[in-house]
Structure 1
Amino acid sequence: MFNWIKPIFFLLVTSAFLSGCAKDSANDKPLPQRPLLVIPEGFPEVAFPEDNPFTKASYDLGKKLFFDPILSRDSSISCGSCHQPSLAFSDRIALTSGVDDAPGKRNVPSLTNIGYHPYFTREGGVPTLEMHVLVPIQEHNEFDFNIVLIADRLKKSEQYVAMAQSAYEREPDAFVITRALANFQRTLISGNSAYDRYAFQGIPNALNAAELRGMNLFFSDELACSSCHSGFNFTNYTFENNGLYEDYIDEGRMRLTGLETDRARFKVPSLRNVELTAPYMFDGSLQTLQDVVEHYNSGGYAHANKNEEVKPLGLTNTEKNDLVAFLGSLTDYEFLENPNHYPN
C-alpha cells in the first residue's frame, strides 16, 4: 500500500558555503532554500511506501549515503560517482567501471524522475526502489559488496547511528539503508524545462520555432516517437527492441523471463534531460542525439522483436535538427542547479 504525498516544503539546513554566499546585499537576509520535494505542474504525486514516508530525516540520511563511497567494497565509488547531479544523475561514459576497474555491462541510466518508475533495471525485474538499492551493491562489476557488511561499517559511525535513529528509530541495517536511499531518490523530480513551461505552465513563447517544429514532429503519427516516449515522463515503461543490432550480446528482458520474444528488449527510458545523458542506448553505443535521430531515421536493423513503429522515416536535415532541438528543450536547468542535489 502507498500513501500519496502532497508537496512537502521542508528546507535544508543552511550549509557553511551557502550561509557565506547566499546573502541579500540590500538587507543582509539569507536567501530562501529550495524545497526538498515539489511536484511540478502537470505531474502526478509521488508514491511513498507506508513503511518509508518522506521525512527530512530520511532524506538527509539517504542523501549522505548516496554520495558516500562507504557503500562500495573498497570505499572507492559511491552512487554519485556514476549518477552525477550535473548530468541529470547519469554520467558521460558508455560502460562505467566499478570497483577495481571492473568493466561495466550497461550504460548508466539517469535517475531523473526515478520515483515514478513502476519497476527497475533495463529488464524490469526489480519491483521497488528500495529493492533496487541492492542491485549495485551486490553486482560484482559495481560496488561488489554486501549490505550487511555496509551496515557494520555504518554502526561504527556515531553520525550514521544518530541519523538512522532519527529517521527510522533503529540502528543502521539493511532496512535503513534501502529505505533512506530510496527516500532521497524519490525527490529527484525534474519538471521545469522549456517544454514544461510551454506544455504545462501555459507560457506560449517558452519554445523557439525549431523546438516547436521538432515537438510537432515528435508527437506526429508519422514518426510515432510518442508511442513509446509518452506521458509527462516521456516513457511508457514498456520493453522494446529498436533495431540497434541484428545480433545482440545482451539478452535484455529475456535475461529475466527466459522468453525468446523478450530477447533484446529493454525498458523504454525517459527522455527528460536527455541532451545531458550521452552516450545513448543500453550499451552507450550512440554518442550524440544526432546519432540517435539518424538511427531512427534509418529504420534500424532487422530483428525478430523490433517494434513495428521503428522504420525508415525519410527526414530532411532540417527535420532532424528540429527533433534534436526539441529534445534539448527537455533539459531542466533548475533541476541541474538545485543545491539540494549536491553533497553538503
Structure 2
Amino acid sequence: MFRTRKYLMVLLSAVVFIFTVAFQPQKEKNEVLTKEQLGEKLFFDPILSKGMAISCASCHIPDFAFADSAAFSKGDKGTLLPRNSPSLTNLSGRTEFFWDGRASSLEEQVLGPLSARDEMDLPIDDAVERLRKNDFYSAAFQRIFKSEVNSKNVLSAIASFERTLETTNTPYDRYLDGDDKAMSPSAIRGRILFIGKANCSTCHSGEDFTADRFKSIGLFNGRELTDPGRFKITSDSSHIGVFKIPGLRNVAVTAPYMHNAMFKSLRQVVEYYNTPDKFVKNSINRDLSLGSSLNLSEGEIDDVVAFLEALTDDRFRKK
C-alpha cells in the first residue's frame, strides 16, 4: 500500500511538471496585452539590441526613476556612452527630448538609442525583422495593432509605455493637497527658498518643475568641460553649452547629476548654483542669472535639498 501511494505521488508530480512545462509557452503566446503592456515588455527585452546584451531598462533602471545610477551607461558592445542617462518619468508633457533636444516626440526619442551605434546598435528595420520572426511578438502586434510588426507600431508601443511613467504620489503633492505634515519643516522652508532666494523656479517651474526650455548653467569651458550641448544640433553659437532643463520630480533617486554626471549628490548641485565659480572656471556662455552667488547659508542649502527630496514618488522612496 505504501509503495503504491509513493508511486502515485511520483507519477502525479511528473504529470504536473510536464503539464507546466508544456503549457507555459502557450500561456504567454495567448497572453492578451494592451499597447502599453506590449511596450513595457519590449522595454525590458534585450531582443532590441544588436547583440541582445542590453535592453532599454539597462540604462533606464526602474528603481532609480528610470535613470541610471552609473555616471555613464554601457551600450550593447560595452561602450561607455558620453552623457548621463536621464530619467524617463513624467515625460508625457514634454516637447523636446535628450539633453540637447534633438527629438521632438517620445517615439523619436525611442528611435535614438535603438539605432545609435554605441547604444543598442539595431537599425529599426532590423528590429522589425527580428520581432516579425518572434512568434510571441508577431502575434501580439497583430492582435493590438491589427497589422504585422512595423517601425511605427514598435516605436508607438514603447512610447506608450513611457507615457505611463507619470508620478504624483509625493510628500510635496500631499502637502499641496492640504496635509501640512506631509513635508518636514526643513522641506517647507526649502520650498520657500526654491521659489524665492534660491531662484530655482525661474527654470524649474510648473507641475513637473521644468520650463521646457534650454539654458547654459556654465558647464562648458572648452577645456576640461568640452561638451557644447545643443550647439552640436543647431550650430547656433548662442547655444554653446546649452542643455535641456530637466524636470525635478524624483530627482533625489537619479544621481549622479547633469549631462556629464559631475555632481554626485543633490547637495553638490545646490552648492554649485550657490557659488558656480568655485566649481567651473572660465565658463563660456553661462546664463546671466548665475552671475553671482545666491548667498545661501549651509542650513538653507540643507533646506533646499530637503524640498527636492520631497519630490520623490512613494514607489521610489527607500523602505
Letter in 2 for 1:210: S
2:226 corresponds in structure 1 to: 249
Specify the SS of the correspondent of 1:112.
coil
Is the helix fraction higher in 1 or 2? 2
Asked if residue 189 in structure 1 is aligned to residue 166 in structure 2, the reply is yes
Moved more, 245-254 or 84-93: 245-254
**Counterpart AA for 1:312:** S
Alignment check: 8 A CA contact 1:151 1:172 kept = yes
**How do 1:35-54 residues align onto structure 2 when only pairs under 5 Å count?**
none
- Equivalent in 107, 116, 128 of residue 105 of structure 2: 128
What is the CA-CA distance between 1:92 and the residue it aligns to?
A: 0.7
**Percentage of pairs with the same residue:** 39
Distance 1:116 1:294, change over 3 A: same
Rg larger in structure: 2
CA contact (8 A) 2:220 2:241 kept: no
TM-superposed CA distance for 1:305, in Å, is: 2.1
Instruction: Compute the RMSD of aligned alpha carbons.
Output: 1.6
Where 1:309 maps in the other structure, the secondary structure is helix
| 184-193 vs 56-65, greater mean Cα deviation | 56-65
Q: Verify: 1:213 aligned to 2:189, yes or no.
A: yes
- Please, which of 94, 101, 111 is the counterpart of residue 71 of structure 2? 94
Asked whether the equivalents of residues 107 and 155 of structure 2 are also in contact (C-alpha less than 8 Å), the reply is yes
**8 Å CA contact 2:219, 2:241 repeated in 1:** no
Q: Does the aligned pair in 1 maintain the 2:253–2:316 contact within 8 Å?
A: no
Q: 1:67 aligns with which of 31, 44, 49?
A: 44
Q: CA deviation at 1:183?
A: 0.6
Contact map agreement 1:57 1:163 (CA 8 A) in 2:
no
How big is each residue's C-alpha offset from its partner over 1:231-287, in whole Å with a ceiling of 9 and x where there is no partner? 000001111111234234112111111011001100001111111000000111111
- State how far apart, in whole Å, the 1-side matches of 2:263 and 2:317 are: 23
Are the equivalent residues in 2 in contact too, given 1:58–1:180 (CA < 8 A)?
Answer: yes
Does the CA contact (< 8 Å) of 1:93 and 1:279 recur in 2? yes
Report the AA paired with residue 242 of structure 1.
I
CA contact (8 A) 1:106 1:282 kept: yes
**Aligned-pair CA distance for 1:336:** 6.5
- Structure 1: gaps (5+ residues): 1-54, 338-344
What one-letter code is carried by the residue in structure 2 that aligns with 1:309? S
Match of 1:152 in 2: 129
The aligned length equals 281
Distance 1:235 1:143, change over 3 A: same
Amino acid at match of 1:260: S
Matches of 1:79 and 1:307, distance apart in 2:
34
For the Cα contact (< 8 Å) 1:207–1:329, is it kept in 2? yes
Residue 99 (structure 1) shift: 1.5
Alpha-carbon distance in 2 for matches of 1:314, 1:206? 28
Q: Please name the residue that 2:205 is paired with.
A: 230
- Aligned twin of 2:312: 331
Q: Which runs of 4+ in 1 moved over 4 A?
A: none
Contact 2:220 2:227 in 1 (8 A): no
Q: 2:146 aligns with which of 142, 164, 169?
A: 169
Whether contact under 8 Å (2:214, 2:242) holds in the other structure is yes
Partner of 2:272: 295
Q: Give, in angstroms, the shift of residue 166 of structure 1.
A: 1.6
Normalized against structure 1, the TM-score is what?
Answer: 0.79
Question: Per the alignment, in what secondary structure is the counterpart of residue 34 of structure 2?
Answer: helix
> 1:229: Cα distance to partner?
0.5
Cα distance in 1 for residues equivalent to 2:104 and 2:211: 16
Q: Which of 142, 161, 175 in structure 1 is aligned with 2:119?
A: 142
